Amino acid sequence: MDFSFVHLRFTIQARDVSRVVSYLYRSGPDFAEAFRKLVCTGKTSVCSKNSACSGCPYGVLFSQQLGADPSAVRCHQKPPLPFIFSFPPHGSVPRQADDFVCTLVLVGKALNHTTEFMSAFRSLLANGHEAGHFAAATITLVESLDFHGNPTAVAAGNAAPDLGNLVTLDAQGIVDSRCRPTDAVGVTFMTPLKLAKTGRIMNFFDAGQFVRSLMRRVSALAYYYCGFEMRDNFREYAHAANRLELLEDNFFYADAGLRAMALSGVMGDGVLSGDFNDLMPFLALGEYLHLGKGASYGMGQYRLAW
């Protein structure tokens, strides 16, 4: 599977960590705008379809435009965003903490704009402070993580990043370093999962739906941003996903209330049983890529145990 990505870790110093983290979970539009302002060469406040915008990184990475191949569109539908933030789960950071870490995964074409993503994240924090969302928050260290989570410094403080220190990861390396075929796999959600079925958000965990959705997410990212088509054997893999069973089911629907519906979703943990030989690459990549609505901004994050 041709699937390349980098895994960045940010250390952020902040006076009010809980408010910063709460803002980051709902910062999607602000982050997109911060990135657009960094890369936009046009003279209008909105992106256009004229020749001046052709090949613009914002359009390539944020517009989620459908492909030109009708068969690919039927298979992959709307492309996901090629970046994934992981923020601390709500309530996990002590009140007295003055710093915290979060991570950012950049997939395929997004790797070519690592510097812009880092700069946009700095701008997001600066703009959030200026808008009164939270007290000052500053990135003090950026590191690139390898297959085992070992860090290499990329930038300290406001220094220019050393992109030579980036560690590029791939699907095969993730499987080789972390996964072994087994007939039972534990899944624990760190942040709520919001999966839709027949147009409605599911309020329970469905193992088959979970894995099939992972397959679609990984294959769409591979197609749109890594230039790799992976339709072969998908029907067989889907049958394997449908045969999965729940040995333990401690999942539940966490309702955050009307004021924070975006943070509602399936939480908890459980143990899946079945044949994972072909499914493990999707499950392993999903730890980095998340799943469901809001996946690019921290939602649908989970951990595996086997």
CA distance 208 to 196: 13
Contacts of residue 243, defined as CB under 8 A and 6 or more positions apart, other chains included, come to 208, 274, 275
Q: What is the value of pTM for the model shown?
A: 0.93
pLDDT at residue 230, rounded to an integer: 78
b/e sequence 14-53, b meaning 16+ C-beta within 10 Å: bebbbebbbbbbebbebbbbbbbebbbeeeeeeeeeeeeb
Q: In angstroms, what CA-CA distances link 27 with 69, 166, 296?
A: 32, 25, 10
Residues 262, 294: contact at Cβ < 8 Å? yes
Residues 291, 210: contact at Cβ < 8 Å? yes
How many C-beta atoms surround the C-beta of residue 114 within 10 A?
19
Residue 162 has pLDDT above 90, yes or no: yes
Residues 298, 87: contact at Cβ < 8 Å? yes
Residue 169 has pLDDT above 90, yes or no: yes
**What are the pLDDT digits (tens) for 212-251?**
999 999 999 999 999 888 777 788 999 999 999 999 999 9
Q: Which of 217, 271, 208 is nearest to 237 (CA)?
A: 208
CA distance 241 to 274: 8
Residue 54 has pLDDT above 80, yes or no: no
Contacts of residue 107, defined as CB under 8 A and 6 or more positions apart, other chains included, come to 3, 4, 5, 82, 83, 84, 221, 225, 226, 289
Residue 76 phi/psi, 5-degree rounding, is: -105, -20
CA distance 50 to 150: 44
pLDDT at residue 153, rounded to an integer: 98
Domain segments of the chain as ranges = 4-171, 173-305
Radius of gyration (C-alpha) of the chain in whole angstroms: 19
pLDDT over 90, % of the chain: 69
Confidence of residue 82 (pLDDT cuts 50, 70, 90): very high
How many C-beta atoms surround the C-beta of residue 146 within 10 A?
14
Element (H, E) at 187: strand 184-193
**What are the pLDDT digits (tens) for 20-50?**
999 999 999 999 999 999 998 765 556 655 5
Residues 95, 18: contact at Cβ < 8 Å? yes
Confidence of residue 74 (pLDDT cuts 50, 70, 90): low
CATH 1.10.3980.10 fits 173-305, yes or no: no
Mean pLDDT for all residues in the chain: 89
Pairing label, strands 137-145, 4-14: antiparallel
CA distance 289 to 217: 8
CA distance 102 to 120: 15
* Coil/strand/helix, residue 37: helix
User: What's the average model confidence in pLDDT over 53-75?
Assistant: 78
Residue 260 has pLDDT above 70, yes or no: no
pLDDT at residue 258, rounded to an integer: 46
CA distance 72 to 174: 26
